[in-house]
Structure formats: C-alpha cells, structure tokens
C-alpha cells in the first residue's frame, strides 16, 4: 500500500491539534539520514510515532493487515499495530528518493505486562520483551511459586510465553514415607476329624492329625476298620464321639481358632525432588500380559505391581510445603484370573491407591488410613455319604472359615533438604559400629560394637556433608512433630 502526500505543490509542516511540538518529539522515533533503516516494536492496538529529518512525500506499507500508517506531517507519521507479525514501511522524498525504511514488529503489550508484574511482585526482578510474536519472560524470581504466578499472568497477555526466569534459591524436598499394613485375621475351624483305613491298609480319609492308632469297627456294611486318634487336649470331642458311637474310639477334633492381627512394613522409601518436579518410587515387579495383534500374533506387555509412590512438592513461603501425593499398593490376585487364547491365563490385580494434595510445614507428618481390603475363605470337608446326613452328618464333617482384613496405613513426613559442601563425606549409621571379635561375639553375645556416639554437633543442624541432608535435634534423637 502506497500513501502519497500532496500539499499544493509545496511541502508543508504542521502538528496535530492540541499536541505541542516538544511533546510530539518526545514520543517519536527519529530516523536520520545516517541511519535509514530502523527496527520498531509496536504493541497490538497501540501506535508509535516516527519522525524523519528529511521531508517525505510517499509512504509504502508492506502488509496492511499487520499495521496501518497515518502521516501526521511531512516529517512525521504514526504506525498502528493491528495484528501480531512483522512488516516493512518505506518512506520516500522528492523525486522518489528513499528517506528511510522501518522494520515494524507488532507484538503484545509487554510494557503493560511489566507494570503488572512490578505491582504484583515488588520483590522480584522480571524482564519482559517480545521475540517473534512471543512473550519472553526473564529475570530473577525469589521462589517457584512467584514464577508460576508470573507465568500465569503473562499467558493472559499472550498464549505463547518463553520462560527464561531463574529462581533465586530452588528448594529441594526430602519425603520420608512409610507403608505399613495392619492385618487382622479371624479363623474358626469346627467339625470332626477322622483317620480311617480299610482292612487291606488302603487309606480312605484323613482330616486332622494322627497321634496314635486303634482298630475299631465303624460299620459292618462298609466293612472297614477305623483308626481313631483323639486330637490331644480336646475331651469334648472324645465325649461326643463316645456317646454317639458306643464302643468305638473315634478321632474327634473340635477346633476353635482365633488369630490376632499382625503389622508389617511394606516399604520405607526416602525420595528427594526439586520444588515443582515429580519423584517416583516402585518396590515390586512386573508380570507379563499377552496381547493379541491384528494378524493373530501375540506380543507381551508388562504390568507393574507392588508399592509405588509419586509426589510433587512445591515450596511456599514460611517453610510451608505443598504436596501432591499418589501412593499405590497392588498385588497379584489369582482369584480374578482371565483365560485368553491358547490356554493362557492372566491374573488380575488387587489395587489400593490414593491421591491427595495438602500443605505441611517442614518436619510435620500426616497419615493416610482406611484403605481396607477384606478376604474371606470358607472350606468344608466331610466323610463320603455320611457327611450329608442331617444332624448326624455334622460329626462326620469339618468346616473352616477364615476372614482377613487388611488396613493400609501411609505415614508421610516432608523435610527441606539442602546440598552440602563438596568433598565432605556423608555419615551413615554403620560408621559408628565395628564388627565384634570372637571374645565379644561368643562370650559377650555382641554381634557388633559401638564405635561411639554419632557426631551431631552442638546445635540442631548437622555438619554439612556431600549430598543431601536433613536437620536432626541435638543428641541424635529423631523427632517427628
């Protein structure tokens, strides 16, 4: 697009109404004869005034959809940004002599973004610029939370933001996790247990333990000889057998078993992650799963199971840690096996997982519980034919019922970690022990000797060592708030 200025054959000079010449000059970019090519950045929806030291008669605009040019005088013009992109403006004087060339880049309003960031985060040092239609955010942020908020504000001004901001002190978080499984089992075995042989010595049935033998006729119709053994310590079973079957020494076992619950640790991982990053942990394995292809070919995929953990920490102000935690405990379940082609059986998984987000201070702990799992097993054994007889069949049968209830408990403690000085060795609990000699081992009964108390220092902080470390109280005592 070409604009030609005509002022009755002569060149005229004028200013816009209400704007002084000095004020207009302060807003303008001046193009001199020594520098005929200049780069100008214009925000979308705003204008930039350009001034030349030589009068011009004609202006050529490369792409009118990106920018618009409005002549103000014979020495000044205004460029309006319309769309993100780049274009070129050429200015010609008398005799189509080239006065100057402007490479115009229309970008987002980075000055308004810079003012907004300055007001929101006075302690941060952000730098905002525009590169190829994108917002370039640089500078220094005090923490990752400030950086995330600044990026969110920048995306409101433009969808494409280049993050070149450095965090002053990136925090590292050590997460101590304990997976504890509390199991409560209840069992009850009720019934009569038999040991029986035929006359030729062939074993017929065995329900229970054998502690002795005596040959007694059970039933003439069957023609067998029973070896009944009383399960020790159960006089009630012997009494019932003597009353119901007179003259026979019957092996009767009436058991009533109840087991208390047990507690065991499944895993106790310690993970370290930078603030804003995700750390993962898996203690378990993988089992193969056959997958049928389009041409009937079978490939193998592996499914993970065991104890897994994924957490994303974010360090806030005041030593507050925001945690997103996703723990999971899974095990192979043979009761949900599925048969596929070619007689291949694929077991299922019993999965207990949780996903939560919370905020804790450095050293505080929290616990997740209530991930219950109930398993019930009922088994019945009976003497052939006789066990089906009502009432009397109870004496010739044995029933077993087992119920197992498992509660998964997850205890999590986040701690702020910091690296130590290079070259300083890390200390472990084994550094304070020595292997026992023969005298201490056989006479004193000591498998190892104590080298001495751990060196913790006089304050609450450990001496710096290479790697990551956490703060311990004085004297080596470990305290969970």
Domains and CATH numbers, the chain: 2-107 (2.60.40.1080), 115-167 (3.30.1340), 193-244 (no CATH), 262-383+401-416 (no CATH), 420-469 (no CATH)
Whole-number Å distance between alpha carbons of 403 and 188: 9
Q: Looking at beta carbons, which pairs linking 204-212 to residues 24 or more positions away fall under 8 Å?
A: 205/383, 205/384, 207/253, 207/381, 207/398, 208/251, 208/253, 208/398, 209/253
Contact status, residue 229 vs residue 241, Cβ threshold 8 Å: no
Model pLDDT, residue 411: 77
Nearest to 288 by CA among 219, 246, 354, 346: 346
Whole-number Å distance between alpha carbons of 238 and 249: 8
User: What are the phi and psi torsion angles at 156 (to 5°)?
Assistant: -75, -25
Is residue 174 packed enough to be buried (19+ CB in 10 Å), middle (13-18) or exposed (0-12)? Answer: buried
Whole-number Å distance between alpha carbons of 34 and 99: 10
**Other Cβ atoms within 10 Å of 435 Cβ, number:** 9
Q: Which parts of the chain sit beneath pLDDT 50?
A: 6-26, 186-261, 453-481
3-state SS assignment for residue 22 = helix
Model pLDDT, residue 425: 72
Whole-number Å distance between alpha carbons of 182 and 180: 7
Whole-number Å distance between alpha carbons of 83 and 43: 9
Whole-number Å distance between alpha carbons of 472 and 374: 40
Q: SS3 sequence, 110-143?
A: HHHHHHHHHHHCCCCEEEEEEECCEEEEEEEECC
Model pLDDT, residue 33: 55
Contact status, residue 236 vs residue 256, Cβ threshold 8 Å: no
Contact status, residue 105 vs residue 44, Cβ threshold 8 Å: no
Model pLDDT, residue 219: 31
3-state SS assignment for residue 429 = helix
Residue pointed to by tokens 């100008």: 40
Whole-number Å distance between alpha carbons of 222 and 205: 14
**Joined tokens for residue 376:** 């019930």
3-state SS assignment for residue 409 = strand
Q: What's the pLDDT tens digit per position in 352-382?
A: 888 888 888 888 887 777 666 666 666 667 6
Bridge partners of 104, per DSSP, are 40, 87
**Joined tokens for residue 185:** 């089992």
Helix H or strand E encompassing 48: strand 47-52
Contact status, residue 81 vs residue 43, Cβ threshold 8 Å: yes
Whole-number Å distance between alpha carbons of 151 and 373: 44
Q: Annotate 194-206 with DSSP letters as a single string.
A: -EEE-TT--EEEE
Bridge partners of 371, per DSSP, are 408
């Amino acid at each position: 697009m070409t604009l030609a200025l005509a002022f009755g054959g002569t060149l005229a000079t004028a200013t816009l109404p209400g704007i002084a010449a000095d004020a207009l000059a302060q807003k303008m970019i001046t193009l001199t004869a020594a520098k005929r090519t200049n780069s100008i950045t214009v925000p979308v929806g705003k204008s930039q005034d350009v001034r030349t030291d030589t009068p011009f008669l004609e202006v050529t605009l490369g792409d009118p959809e990106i920018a618009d040019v409005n002549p103000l005088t014979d020495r000044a013009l205004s460029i309006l940004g319309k769309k993100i992109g780049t274009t070129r403006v050429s200015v010609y004087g008398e005799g189509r002599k080239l006065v100057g060339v402007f490479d115009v880049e229309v970008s987002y309003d980075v000055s308004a973004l810079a003012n907004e960031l300055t007001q929101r985060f006075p302690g941060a040092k952000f730098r905002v610029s525009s590169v190829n239609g994108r917002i370039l955010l640089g500078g220094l942020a005090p923490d990752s939370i400030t950086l995330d908020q600044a990026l969110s504000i920048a995306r409101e001004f433009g969808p494409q933001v280049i993050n070149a901001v450095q965090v002053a002190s990136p925090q590292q978080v050590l997460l101590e996790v304990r997976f504890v499984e509390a199991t409560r089992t209840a069992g009850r075995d009720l019934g009569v247990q038999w040991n029986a042989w035929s006359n030729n010595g062939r074993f017929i049935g065995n329900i229970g333990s054998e502690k002795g033998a005596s040959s007694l006729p059970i039933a003439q119709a069957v023609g067998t000889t029973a070896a009944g053994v009383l399960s020790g310590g159960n006089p009630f079973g012997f009494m019932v057998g003597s009353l119901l079957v007179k003259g026979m020494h019957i092996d009767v076992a009436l058991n009533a078993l109840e087991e208390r619950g047990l507690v065991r640790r499944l895993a106790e991982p310690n993970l370290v992650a930078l603030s804003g990053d995700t750390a993962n942990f898996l203690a378990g394995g993988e089992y193969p799963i056959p997958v049928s292809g389009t041409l009937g070919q079978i490939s193998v995929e592996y499914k993970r199971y065991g104890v897994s953990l994924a957490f994303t920490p974010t360090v806030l102000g005041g030593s507050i840690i925001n945690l997103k935690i996703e723990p999971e405990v899974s095990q192979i379940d043979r009761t949900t096996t599925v048969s596929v082609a070619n007689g291949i059986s694929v077991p299922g998984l019993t999965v207990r997982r949780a996903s939560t987000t919370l905020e804790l201070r450095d050293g505080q702990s929290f616990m997740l519980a209530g991930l219950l799992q109930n398993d019930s097993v009922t088994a019945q054994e009976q003497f052939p034919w006789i066990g089906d007889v009502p009432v009397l069949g109870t004496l010739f049968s044995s029933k077993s019922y087992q119920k197992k209830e498992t509660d998964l408990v997850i205890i999590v403690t986040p701690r702020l970690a910091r690296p130590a000085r290079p070259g300083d060795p890390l200390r472990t609990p084994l550094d304070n022990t020595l292997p026992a000699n023969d005298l201490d081992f056989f006479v004193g009964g000591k498998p190892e000797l104590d080298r001495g108390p751990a060196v913790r220092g006089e304050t609450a902080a450990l001496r710096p060592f290479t790697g990551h470390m956490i703060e311990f109280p004085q004297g080596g005592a470990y305290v969970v708030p």
